[in-house]
Every structure is written in structure tokens, then in C-alpha cells.
Amino acid sequence: MTDSPAPVPAIEITDLTKVYAGGKRALDGINLTIPRGQIYGLLGPNGAGKSTTINILAGLVNKTSGTARIWGFDIDQNPRNAKNSIGIVPQEIVFDPFFTPFETLENQAGYYAVPKERRRSMELLRAVHLEDKANAYARTLSGGMKRRLLVAKAMVHSPPILVLDEPTAGVDVQLRQQLWAYVRELNHQGVTIVLTTHYLEEAEELCDRIGIINHGRVITDKPTRELIAMAQEKVVQVTVDRDVAVLPADPSFEKVELADERTLTITYLKNRANAGQVLNAVQASGLSIVDVVTRDPDLEDVFLNLTAAA
């Protein structure tokens, strides 16, 4: 093989805007580069513009201006290749209730002109645990089953990118675990995953990189670990040897509260103090420390701070 150039990103979005008929500006200049091979989380409060962005990539919504490239293919100049490079599970569940799951996948394969010998409808149904429903009517499936069928449908043409828009909204915990297991497996096989979710814990656990959008703009786009490190507030719970009569005070404390008679909850900013200083201050107030529990800041802290500021 000859030297190959650096691979183009999985998705590249530049100055993307969308004004809906009626005047709602849903996207106000989105810029995003989603690298290949990752699990990328697109987060943002309701109405932020996540689905609009994804539906533009899917060809379901026409953009107002800007460009989008999928696997290097411009969605305007090369729509067929762009479309073939991506599989999308939309937020809204829509499909023909009179087809069986097997037929649904076969129809989709036909739509993408996947040759018979390369179809793998049963394999996909097995992967999403719907094998035994292969010949049931789609309308008899539960919500969670329909969602999984849509994931299989999105993978029919073996795209290198799979996008899931709020895939676990309304899906129970067990199904969620199954869905994420499948998504992880696809990612291990090399599929780039993009998902939107409201469950921050899930994004934190699953995603390599996270973009947060609000009011149609990108407020941040970083590796998950860096994003979490941005949270400055840390909390330490200190259990002491006697009932606390007077709350200790110290410049290193941001906030101090009593959780119960002998437990203090102290918040401090990690750029201004460290746990050692906080604990020393407690001891200096005459209390002996019996136990200490710390809580690290999580994505929720960062998310709330960023979206509140924007």
C-alpha cells in the first residue's frame, strides 16, 4: 500500500444555519468536527437544535446555509455517497405497521440497493435481540422493540457512521443496557457513533468526546475527560466525633452545611483549595475527623454551568 493521507473526519459541519418556515432560527452557525472511530455525544437542552442538525445530515430537513460533509462527501454535491455513509435512527419512531421486522429490513436493503448476497437481515435482528419477532407485525412490537428495529434498519447498508437521536428516551433500563452493548460492539468494529441523549451519566460513561449545543450554537466540544475536569466545585463530606454546635468557617470553604448532627458537607473550589486544606480547617476548629467521603464533579455540574452561562 502507498502512504494514505490523513483520513477525513467522519462528519464536518461548517457554519450551519437553519431557519424554519415561520421564522424560528433553530441553528445559528454550527461548527463541528466529529473524528472517525469515536463515540461522540451531542448534548444540549430541549430545543437546542440537536435533532435539526441530525435531520439535516439525514436529508430530512433542508439547511438554510452552511456546509456539511459526511465521510468527506458534501451533502449537496455528493448526496448519494453522503447518504450511503451514514445510518440514522431518528428521534420519532415511524414505520409501516404492516411489515414484519424482517420485511422492514429487506425493504430498506432494497432502497439502498444492497445486493441479495450482501443482505444480513437475520443477523441484524439477532444483534438487536429481535430474532424471535422476525415475522411478527411491526405494530405488535413494544416501544423498546421498535427502537431496536430502527437501529437494525439504520445499519442495513453497513454505513461507517451510525447516528442515534435520543435512542433511550422512554426505553427501560435493561433495554438501554442491551442497546449500549450493541452500540459499543459496533464501535469496536470501527463504526463511528454519534448520539444525542438527555442522560448525562450515560454520555459520561459512553462517549469519548462531547459537544454541547444551546440555542443553535456549539458552546463546547471536548474530550469527555477534559470536559469533566472543567468542573471546579468539589464536595467533601466529613463525619466528626461529636455533635457540631457551631459550623466551622474557613476561607477555603465555598459552602458548609450540616447533613446530620455529626456530618458536615463542605463545598470547595478545586482551583482555590485542596482537600487537605479543607480537612485541616475542620480539625483546627476543634473537631476530630472520623470519616471522609469525597464526590467528584460530574458532567451534570459542567453542563449546568455552561448552559446557564450561555
The listed partner (ligand ADP, Mg ion, none) that binds 22, CB under 5 to 8 Å by sort, is ligand ADP
Report whether 156 contacts 124 (CB < 8 A).
yes
Task: Verify binding: residue 51, Mg ion, rule CB under 5 A.
Answer: yes
Task: Verify binding: residue 20, ligand ADP, rule CB under 6 A.
Answer: yes
Within 24-43, which residues bind ligand ADP (CB under 6 A)? 24, 26
User: In angstroms, what is the minimal distance from the CB of 45 to ligand ADP?
Assistant: 7
Task: Verify binding: residue 252, ligand ADP, rule CB under 6 A.
Answer: no
Task: Verify binding: residue 148, ligand ADP, rule CB under 6 A.
Answer: no
Applying CB under 6 A, the site for ligand ADP has a residue count of 12
Count Cβ atoms below 10 Å from residue 297 Cβ, excluding itself. Answer: 17
Helices (H), 158-223: 173-188, 200-206
- Interatomic CA distance for residues 153 and 157, integer angstroms: 9
Nearer to Mg ion, 198 or 270 (CB): 198
CA 223 to chain CA centroid, nearest Å: 12
User: In angstroms, what is the minimal distance from the CB of 20 to ligand ADP?
Assistant: 3
| Interior angle at CA 55, CA 51 and CA 61, nearest 5 | 120
User: In angstroms, what is the minimal distance from the CB of 189 to ligand ADP?
Assistant: 28
Nearer to ligand ADP, 22 or 276 (CB): 22
Task: Verify binding: residue 197, Mg ion, rule CB under 5 A.
Answer: no
| Distance, first Cα to last Cα, the chain | 48
The listed partner (Mg ion, ligand ADP, none) that binds 288, CB under 5 to 8 Å by sort, is none
Nearer to ligand ADP, 290 or 304 (CB): 304
Task: Verify binding: residue 51, ligand ADP, rule CB under 6 A.
Answer: yes
β-strand partners of 240: 289
- Interatomic CA distance for residues 56 and 49, integer angstroms: 11
Nearer to Mg ion, 62 or 271 (CB): 62
- Find, among 304, 262, 260, 302, the residue nearest to 282 by Cα: 262
User: In angstroms, what is the minimal distance from the CB of 13 to Mg ion?
Assistant: 16
- Find, among 145, 154, 148, the residue nearest to 108 by Cα: 154
> Which of residues 2, 4, 46, 288 is near ligand ADP by CB under 6 A?
46
DSSP code, position 55: H
